[in-house]
Amino acid sequence: MKNENSAFASSPEPLLNPGREPVLDLSRKPFLNPSQEPVLDLAALRADTPGCEAVIHFNNAGAGLMARPVLETVLDHLRLEAGIGGYEAAAARAAEVADFYAALAELLGTRPGNLAFAASATHAYTKALSAIDFRPGDVVLTTRNDFVSNQIAFLSLRKRHGVRIVHAPDHPDGSGVDVEAMAALMRAHRPRLVAVTHVPTNSGLVQPVAEIGRHCRELDLLYLVDACQSVGQYPIDVEAIGCDLLTATCRKFLRGPRGSGFLYVSDRVLTAGYEPLHIDMHGARWVAPGYYRPVDTAARFEEWEFPYATVLGCAAAVRYALRVGLEPVARRTPALAGRLRERLAAVPGVRALDGGPAPAALVTFTIEGWQAAPFKAAMDAHGINSALSYREFAQFDFTDKEVEWCLRLSPHYYNTEDEVDAVAGTVAELARSAR
């Protein structure tokens, strides 16, 4: 079943056939080389990732390659739905669906009842925003590097509710938002919401979300973190960050299926009675003709209809990430990106754009002599997956950097040093060809 207290709480149980093979047996392959230091067993991880055979996938910030157990879990469930019926398949896999919340709670340092599944990070984000009763003049305090769709959502709130959007300035040393200046703005404006993107989509910058969180807790301000690019890349602890709400997708560094996301909702927010504007029969009980009561858990942010195969795939992806281990992932992934940055810095005509003292695995750069689409097409032709970012994704950042577009390369732990060198070599060749 889904969360305790969910609309499914009344479903008959137990629904798991105890004799059945588990869909996902993660106990089989150890991914840490036991002989020495905890070093990831790359051969095993790559053998488990069908896409590694076909492409050099440096678009994990777009969507990570699914590992085989994730893929099989999704396909198994679709087969089961086709075989016995969608509702019946959901009932048969209730325990595994519940494990989505349990696994994610383990990943984020919270409890299952504080988590809601969503169709995307943006869906989770806008649901969270819809729970806030904004009044004209209320301030949303955010940063100059917050995600494009979040910025558009704030502008839409300004259009409809007359909220004021205040952007905290960046620190002059290029390390991201100036936390002291942001704290001063918190004290001056007492914002209705503080909203920060941990790692933006358009650069490797890592924002100091826990430092900001300390100020929010001190001043008792509602704090929403977009951790879309950091979940699965770094250990994330919602208590350490001090956030009230946190959103992400499962498809990027968690390597889950597309069409997935989630929302963490703190006990503070749940007990204060926040609920999404549009709440349905899963999020609430219609207890009398003129009255509904939201469920006690974060399930109030979910909807009745639910992509079970996707959710099960997400559960498998989170279990997989836990099994690989977020510490080794967080050591290896940004280090691979660092190697790539170093190689690209030596290429004439390439300009690296990432800031901050310890950038994440999103490597962004411009290249002289190329337009955006043909450059990406040339990378595609070399079997290298990448992504483009345009100024409309990052109005402040790209204006500051005076760029119209950049290419983003985002490796993950299962990529190899040889792939990094091959990618840098291809960029060097393309840079030369344009000179």
Ligand X SMILES: Cc1ncc(COP(=O)(O)O)c(C=O)c1O
Residue 245, H or E segment = strand 245-249
3-state secondary structure at position 392: helix
Interface with ligand X, residue 245, by CB under 6 A: no
**Residue 256 lies near ligand X (rule: CB under 6 A):** no
In the set 114, 130, 229, 297, which binds ligand X (CB under 6 A)? 229
C-alpha distance from residue 341 to each of 44, 61, 121, 403, 432 (Å): 26, 16, 28, 18, 18
Options 69-77, 165-173, 185-193, 194-202: segment touching ligand X (CB under 6 A): 194-202
Q: What is the DSSP string of 31-45?
A: -EETTSS-EE-HHHH
- Residues touching ligand X, count (CB under 6 A): 13
Cis peptide before 14 (omega within 30 of 0): yes
Report which of 61, 120, 146, 122 is spatially closest to residue 388, judged by C-alpha positions.
61
Interaction of residue 226 with ligand X, rule CB under 6 A: yes
Residue 310: strand, helix, or coil:
helix
Residue from 221, 320, 322 nearest 266 by CA: 221
The answer to the question of residue 364 lying near ligand X (CB under 6 A) is no
For residue 150, CA distances in Å to 103, 129, 426 come to 27, 10, 34
Cα 176 to Cα 142: distance, rounded to the nearest angstrom = 12
Among 200, 294, 355, 411, binds ligand X (CB under 6 A): 200
Binding ligand X (rule: CB under 6 A), the pick from 261, 276, 283, 294 is: 261
Cα distances (angstroms) measured from residue 26 to each of 1, 85, 391:
21, 27, 42
Q: At closest approach, how far in Å is the CB of 259 from ligand X? A: 9
CB of 182 to ligand X, least distance (A): 18
- Establish if 257 lies at the interface with ligand X (CB under 6 A): no
Minimum CB distance to ligand X, residue 262 (Å): 10
Binding to ligand X by CB under 6 A, coded x per residue (else -) over 108-127, reads: ------------xxx-----
Q: Which is nearer to ligand X, 120 or 415 (CB)?
A: 120
Which residue, 113 or 259, is less far from ligand X as judged by CB? Answer: 259
Q: Is 233 in the site for ligand X (CB under 6 A)?
A: no
The residues binding ligand X (CB under 6 A) are 120-122, 147, 149, 197, 200-201, 226, 228-229, 249, 261
